[in-house]
Amino acid sequence: VIGRNGIIYIGSWDQNIHAISADGNSIWRSPTLDHLVGTPAIGPNGNIYVGSYDFGIYGFDAAGKKLWVFPTLSYVMSSPIVGRNGTVYCGSDDGSLYAINPENGEHIWTFVTGGRVRSSPSISHTGNIYIASFDGNIYSIEEETGQMVWSASIEPTEYESPIVGMLGAIQS
């Protein structure tokens, strides 16, 4: 993901998140306990969020200092997103979508599906979060409460992430 001033943030199999300048120079790298698969997300305050194979979702400040680690019950291959109110949302192989306070890494709510969540969530302008699960469903979840709005059966999926079109149509 590309942040302010063109800084590129990327997770790696070397168990680090890296900040790289637009001209390719390393600015910093910060360790996690296992490799990183998903794309990091950047919050409005410049903090960076990323999931890891070590069963955690991490929050880092813009200088690479680890702020917190939110524990999950399995691998995190999903890429986090940051909601309209700054909340961090991320899926896990434990079958859950988590809502996390971006300031302190504390749990806000959990939505549990019937299968792994490797897709990355999407959010609409109306405040609904969309996530696909290995249980063969796509879910619409209310951003503030974590309550299911609806679910729809889709082909069993592993990594496909839903996107929200300009007119609000959901695609996977």
3-state SS, 42-99, equals: ECCCCCEEEEECCCEEEEECCCCCEEEEEECCCCCCCCCEECCCCCEEEECCCCEEEE
pLDDT at residue number 166: 62
Q: How far apart are CA 70 and CA 59, in angstroms?
A: 8
Q: How far apart are CA 116 and CA 113, in angstroms?
A: 8
109-155: per-residue pLDDT in tens? 999 999 999 989 999 988 899 999 999 999 999 999 999 999 999 87
Average pLDDT over residues 77-86: 94
Question: Mapping DSSP to helix (H, G, I), strand (E, B) and coil, where does residue 130 land?
Answer: strand
pTM assigned to the model: 0.92
pLDDT at residue number 170: 57
| 140: its two tokens | 């619409």
Is residue 95 within 8 A of residue 115, CB to CB? The reply is: yes
pLDDT at residue number 5: 85
Is residue 79 within 8 A of residue 38, CB to CB? The reply is: yes
